[in-house]
Structure 1
Amino acid sequence: MIPRFVVVPAIPTETGSTRNGTRFYCKTAPIGFNLYDNEEKRRLPTTYPTRTEAEEECLQLNNECLQCTLSERSPRVNVP
C-alpha cells in the first residue's frame, strides 16, 4: 500500500541571476522539504527546514489517515 503522504524536497526559490559573458545563470536557494499528498496529487503548503521534521509530520498524518480509514471499516456494534 502506498502511503498517502510522502516527503519531497521543496522547490528552490530564485534568489537572483548572474551574468557570465553572454549567459545568465539563475541562483537558487534550497528551502527545505514539503509533504506531497498522493491522493490529491499536490504539495502541502507547509515547508519544513529539515527532513527529520518533515518525516515526523508525515508519519503523524499517515497514522491519522490510517486510523480514520480503520474506524470507517470497523462494524458498529449497538449496545442497548
Structure 2
Amino acid sequence: MFRFVVVPAIPKEKETWRCGDRVFCSTAPIGFNIYDNEEKCRLSNEYSSRATAEEECERLNTPFLQTDLGEGRHFSQ
C-alpha cells in the first residue's frame, strides 16, 4: 500500500435556499485531494485534475518507495 493516494475532494457548499420544507444547496465543483494513509488525513492542496494529483502523489511517494525497496520490502497495489 502506498502512503499517499489520490481521492475525490469533498464538495464545498456555496449557498443554500429553502423551498417549502426542503433545503437545497449548490456546491463548488470538486477536484482531487491527496490522502496520507500514515497520518490518516487529507493534505490541504486541491487539484483540478486527477492527472495533476497523481503526478504530485507519485512525487510524494518516491522517497518512501526507494527506502522500502532498498530494505527488501515489496508492495503490491
TM-score band, normalised by shorter chain? 0.7 to 0.9
Matched residue count = 72
Unaligned 5+ residue runs, structure 2? Answer: 73-77
Identity of aligned residues (%): 57
| Runs of 4+ residues over 4 Å off in structure 1 | none
Unaligned 5+ residue runs, structure 1? Answer: 75-80
Task: Please name the residue that 1:59 is paired with.
Answer: 58
Shift of 1:67: 1.8
- SS at structure 2 position matched to 1:31: coil
State the structure with more CA Rg. 1
Shift of 1:30: 2.6
One-letter amino acid matched to 2:37: N
Query: When the two structures are superposed, what TM-score results if normalisation uses the length of structure 1?
Result: 0.77
Task: Please name the residue that 1:77 is paired with.
Answer: none
RMSD: 1.7
The answer (yes or no) to whether the contact 1:7–1:33 under 8 Å persists in 2 is: yes
One-letter amino acid matched to 1:57: E
Query: When the two structures are superposed, what TM-score results if normalisation uses the length of structure 2?
Result: 0.80
Please tell me whether residue 11 in structure 1 is matched to residue 13 in structure 2.
no
